[in-house]
Amino acid sequence: MSVRTAPLLITLTLFCLAVANTPKAELRADDRDIPAGGSVTLTCSVNPSSSGWKYFWYRGEKTSEPLTSQLSAGPIRVSEGGVYWCRGGRREPVNYTECSDSVTIYRIIPNKAVVTLQPNWTEVYNGERITLRCEIKDGGDTEWEYEWRTTSSEKPSNQNEHSITSVTESHSGDYRCKGRKKHTQHSSTDWSDPIKLTVSYNPQPVLTVSPSWLSAGASVTLNCRVKDPSAGWTFSWFKTFPHPSNMYYSYEQLPGSSSGTEQDSYIVHGQAHTAGFLCGAQRKDRQYTTYYSGIKYVWSSDIHSSASLTVSPDRAQHFTSDSVSLSCEGNSAEWRVKRFSTEDSDSSACYTWWGTMTGSTCNINTDSTSDAVYWCESGSGEFSNAFNITVQAVSRPDSSSFPVLLVVGLVCGIVLVIPLLVLFCYRASKGETFLFCYYMFFNYSNKHTYSD
């Protein structure tokens, strides 16, 4: 028995081997998945193309017996899962092509694949960890193999879970999965609906303070907002302290916020002087990653001995031609003058484009200065009182120029009136009208000549 079987095995192995100058068949499928009650189309062709070919179709292992009734001159439709391949033949006796590469077709089963994202956030930020999971509904104890498809640069493995420890924007895209039964040949779920992963650059919370100007006994309310407030955030709150020598601030966490607060607002009681605040936002289950807002200030006009600001000239409104100086005084040898304007949308120091710092005094360049709030920051970490200064974009009028302007106006008036009188008298050059004009002109000229 074994003697008779061996030659058959050799024949089965050798009949699809490549032979020199023999063309190779090519197999294409319009889909790899057969929907419930449906079919897929298989097309066999020979390259280079020529006429007279018929095609032999095979499913399963490459045997010498083609599928029953599947000798064709064109495409065929199949409704069973399996490994398919083909080859072409023509003439009598038949000259065969080299066999095509195989194509695996899967029969779709009712089980539904679903992709889930953990944590289930609507938006994910750079550096965060996420896990994509492929779940088969009503899968029971069946063992599954998995396949992923994505529009991103990521290439998930064929496991039911795929974790990304530190996501970037390149991971953004649609993710779909499907499952195949391990011990049932060529049965597969359909592709899941896609889940869209959007990875954004790190968010910056936005802090608002109310009121901006302090009054005696008033509380300050801080509000911290992030782009995606539904994602589940906790908030921390900080007060700032200036350091003019290195241009930075130090921070002190406000009472009761060391472990974060669920509320996106915080009330500061008893704040009497100018101060700076900021907030931090953390994901509830990712609190090792904190995103910080910019600094927002509350201002007070009350002067205190440790840090104070004086303005010269001492007025709130100035003109673009004015020379304005801001002087810092108090218990410090280091100072910087800061300002905030709505045009700048952030605070800036005197030694930038709008002023010149000499010692503890800042001289403002009013020609390029807009309305702004000014204050001092000391090397001992304190803020001074604040001034709200407006700059009118016109030069201040000079009172000494008024007499000169008056004389120039009178001379111009005379020069304009005399030609008009001459013209009138020329047209009425006869009779009393001429004498009247002559009299008026002569009398007017003499009067103004001697009165000057």
**Three-state SS at 422:** helix
pLDDT at 197 exceeding the cut of 60 = yes
DSSP 211-259: -SB--TT--EEEEEE-S-GGG-EEEEEEEEEEETTTTEEEEEEPTT-TT
pLDDT at 12 exceeding the cut of 80 = no
Among the residue ranges 108-112, 151-155, 217-221, 417-421, the one predicted with the least confidence is 417-421
Give the model's pLDDT for residue 48: 78
pLDDT at 113 exceeding the cut of 90 = yes
Residue 360 φ then ψ, to 5°: -105, 15
CATH superfamily of 2-105: Immunoglobulins (2.60.40.10)
Among 6-10, 396-400, 440-444, which range has the highest average pLDDT? Answer: 396-400
Q: How far apart are CA 314 and CA 193, in angstroms?
A: 70
pLDDT at 22 exceeding the cut of 50 = yes
Give the pLDDT band of residue 396 (cuts 50, 70, 90): low
Q: How far apart are CA 20 and CA 119, in angstroms?
A: 58
DSSP conformational letter for 190: P
Q: Please answer whether residues 437 and 421 qualify as being in contact, where contact means their C-beta atoms are separated by less than 8 angstroms.
A: yes
- E runs forming strands in 22-165: 24-29, 33-34, 40-47, 54-59, 76-78, 82-90, 95-96, 103-108, 113-118, 124-125, 130-136, 144-150, 161-164
Work out the average pLDDT over 309-330.
Answer: 87
Give the pLDDT band of residue 410 (cuts 50, 70, 90): low
Work out the average pLDDT over 262-285.
Answer: 90
For the packed helices 431-451 and 402-427, what is the interaxial angle rounded to 10 degrees? 160
- Up-side HSE of residue 304: CA atoms within 13 Å toward CB? 15
Burial bucket for residue 49 (CB in 10 Å: 0-12, 13-18, 19+): exposed
Give the model's pLDDT for residue 67: 77
Amino acid identity at 86: C
Q: How far apart are CA 235 and CA 233, in angstroms?
A: 7
Work out the average pLDDT over 315-334.
Answer: 86
Give the model's pLDDT for residue 408: 47
Radius of gyration, CA atoms only, the chain: 45
Residues above pLDDT 70, as percent of the chain: 79
Give the pLDDT band of residue 424 (cuts 50, 70, 90): very low
DSSP conformational letter for 57: E
Tell me the domain boundaries of the chain.
Answer: 2-105, 113-200, 206-298, 307-392, 401-451
Give the model's pLDDT for residue 435: 36
CATH superfamily of 113-200: Immunoglobulins (2.60.40.10)
Is 2-105's fold the same as 206-298's? yes
Q: What is the CATH number of domain 206-298?
A: 2.60.40.10
Q: How far apart are CA 88 and CA 27, in angstroms?
A: 11
Residue-wise pLDDT tens digits, 29-80: 999 889 888 999 999 999 877 888 889 898 887 665 777 656 777 889 998 8
Where is pLDDT greater, at 142 or 16?
A: 142
Residues in the chain, total:
452
Give the model's pLDDT for residue 4: 36
Give the pLDDT band of residue 13 (cuts 50, 70, 90): very low
Work out the average pLDDT over 329-357.
Answer: 87
Give the model's pLDDT for residue 452: 39
Give the model's pLDDT for residue 413: 55
pLDDT at 275 exceeding the cut of 70 = yes
CA 410 to chain centre: 65
Give the model's pLDDT for residue 117: 94
Residue-wise pLDDT tens digits, 202-228: 888 999 999 999 987 789 999 999 877
pLDDT at 451 exceeding the cut of 60 = no
Q: How far apart are CA 135 and CA 122, in angstroms?
A: 20
Where is pLDDT greater, at 421 or 210?
A: 210
Question: Would you state the structure tokens that stand for residue 414, as one six-digit string?
Answer: 């005379």
Question: Would you state the structure tokens that stand for residue 122, as one six-digit string?
Answer: 């609507």
Q: What is the CATH number of domain 307-392?
A: 2.60.40.10
pTM, entire model:
0.62
Give the model's pLDDT for residue 431: 45
Give the pLDDT band of residue 119 (cuts 50, 70, 90): confident
Residue-wise pLDDT tens digits, 222-271: 999 987 776 678 899 999 999 877 778 999 999 988 888 889 999 999 89
Work out the average pLDDT over 421-444.
Answer: 43
Give the model's pLDDT for residue 368: 66
Give the model's pLDDT for residue 62: 63
pLDDT at 363 exceeding the cut of 60 = yes
Where is pLDDT greater, at 443 or 165?
A: 165
Question: Would you state the structure tokens that stand for residue 152, as one six-digit string?
Answer: 């991103």
Q: Please answer whether residues 205 and 293 qualify as being in contact, where contact means their C-beta atoms are separated by less than 8 angstroms.
A: yes
Q: Please answer whether residues 98 and 63 qualify as being in contact, where contact means their C-beta atoms are separated by less than 8 angstroms.
A: no
Work out the average pLDDT over 105-132.
Answer: 89
pLDDT at 409 exceeding the cut of 60 = no
Give the model's pLDDT for residue 268: 95
